[in-house]
């Protein structure tokens, strides 16, 4: 069967998870409380709106609809300042090698991200042309851990869900991939991503033999 590969963006292709963290931390500090790097784990793969809700919970803050929207915009403006300076040097190690490996073999590649900033980021780092389709926060209604984003990506690639492989750095993303019946590959801390079918610290640990195995798989 024809295989398809789906990449999450933030924390898999580029290390934007740190910029999301900094922007939320800036907002928390403005609102008068601390937001830690440990708490940031819960924000990975989660929509901007849901992150805002969790942040207010952490700070014990009740916001009016107006404040809520204002702060969410503020966070994004701050985040865009961080990503504005991004270039190809911020592509995570060996992402290019894995993309080239797949491209050379004509394997369909999709982006499956919760972010509404996905396309400009891929453009900035020069990877847009690798992707046959982009499914992101602008195209889905149900956020990870709902499998919608990955199922839509598979559909747009013309590949059956069972034949898709997902690279994810978020607990919610691994859960979404598992629900979609896809091969879930955790990129990051294997203690945090314990529900993933395979775990890698990063792409430097993933060799051609493993990738060939995925292509041959059932
Ligand atoms: C995900 C990130 O990729 O995108 C989350 O892991 C983020 O941390 C979400 O909240 C939404 O991103 P954006 O760019 O639309 O605010
Ligand atoms: Mg991610």
1 — pLDDT class (breaks 50, 70, 90)? confident
Mutual angle of helices 65-84 and 17-30, in 10-degree steps: 140
Mean pLDDT, all residues of the chain: 96
Looking at 10, 78, 132, 136, which residue is catalytic? 10
- Give 144-190 pLDDT, tens digit per residue: 999 999 999 999 999 999 999 999 999 999 999 999 999 999 999 99
Residue 179 beta carbon below 6 angstroms from any ligand 1 atom? no
Give the span between the Cα atoms of 161 and 181, in whole angstroms. Answer: 6
Residue 9 beta carbon below 6 angstroms from any ligand 1 atom? yes
Q: Confirm if 164 and 141 have CB atoms less than 8 A apart.
A: no
Q: Confirm if 158 and 148 have CB atoms less than 8 A apart.
A: no
- Give 59-88 pLDDT, tens digit per residue: 999 999 999 999 999 999 999 999 999 999
Considering only CA atoms, which residue is closest to atom 4 of ligand 1? 115
Residue 11 CA to ligand 2 center (angstroms) comes to: 5
Give the span between the Cα atoms of 102 and 109, in whole angstroms. Answer: 8
Residue 51 beta carbon below 6 angstroms from any ligand 1 atom? yes
218 — pLDDT class (breaks 50, 70, 90)? low
217 — pLDDT class (breaks 50, 70, 90)? confident
Residue 140: predicted pLDDT? 94
Q: Mean per-residue pLDDT for 31-55? A: 95
Whose CA is closest to 163, among 175, 172, 151? 151
Q: Confirm if 132 and 109 have CB atoms less than 8 A apart.
A: yes
Tell me phi and psi for residue 45, to 5 degrees. Answer: 80, -5
Residue 83 beta carbon below 6 angstroms from any ligand 1 atom? no
Residue 157 beta carbon below 6 angstroms from any ligand 1 atom? no
Residue 66 Cα distances to 62, 70, 71, 106, 202, angstroms? 11, 6, 9, 48, 40
Residue 45 CA to ligand 1 center (angstroms) comes to: 6
Active site residue 10: yes
Q: Percentage of residues in the chain with pLDDT exceeding 70?
A: 100
Which residues are placed with Cβ below 5 angstroms of ligand 2, an ion?
8, 10-11, 169-170
- Give 21-42 pLDDT, tens digit per residue: 999 999 999 999 999 999 998 8
ipTM entry: 0.98
Segment holding 6, helix H or strand E:
strand 4-7
Give the span between the Cα atoms of 98 and 209, in whole angstroms. Answer: 12
The token pair that represents 217 in the structure block: 């798989």
Q: Confirm if 134 and 109 have CB atoms less than 8 A apart.
A: no
Residue 73 CA to ligand 1 center (angstroms) comes to: 13
Cα-Cα-Cα-Cα torsion 9, 15, 16, 17, nearest 10 degrees, comes to 90
Considering only CA atoms, which residue is closest to atom 2 of ligand 1? 45
Q: Report whether 78 belongs to an annotated binding site.
A: no
Active site residue 8: yes
Residue 70: predicted pLDDT? 98
Give the span between the Cα atoms of 29 and 33, in whole angstroms. Answer: 5
């Amino acid at each position: 069967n024809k295989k398809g590969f789906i990449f999450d963006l933030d924390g898999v292709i580029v290390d934007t998870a740190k910029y999301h963290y900094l922007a939320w931390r800036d907002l928390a500090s403005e609102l008068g409380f601390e937001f830690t790097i440990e708490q940031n784990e819960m924000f990975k793969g989660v929509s901007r709106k849901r992150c805002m809700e969790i942040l207010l919970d952490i700070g014990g803050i009740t916001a009016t609809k107006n404040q809520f929207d204002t702060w969410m915009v503020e966070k994004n403006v701050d985040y865009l300042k961080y990503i504005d300076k991004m270039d190809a040097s911020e592509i995570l190690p060996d992402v290019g090698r894995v993309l080239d490996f797949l491209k050379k073999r004509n394997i369909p590649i999709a982006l499956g991200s919760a972010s509404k900033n996905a396309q400009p980021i891929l453009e900035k780092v020069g990877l847009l042309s690798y992707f046959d389709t982009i499914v992101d926060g602008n195209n889905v209604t149900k956020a990870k851990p709902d499998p919608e984003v990955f199922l839509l990506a598979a559909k747009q690639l013309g590949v059956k869900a069972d034949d898709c492989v997902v690279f994810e750095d978020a607990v919610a993303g691994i859960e979404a991939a598992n629900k979609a019946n896809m091969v879930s590959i955790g990129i990051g801390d294997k203690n945090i991503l314990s529900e993933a079918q395979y775990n890698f610290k990063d792409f430097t640990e993933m060799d051609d033999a493993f990738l060939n195995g995925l292509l041959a798989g059932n």
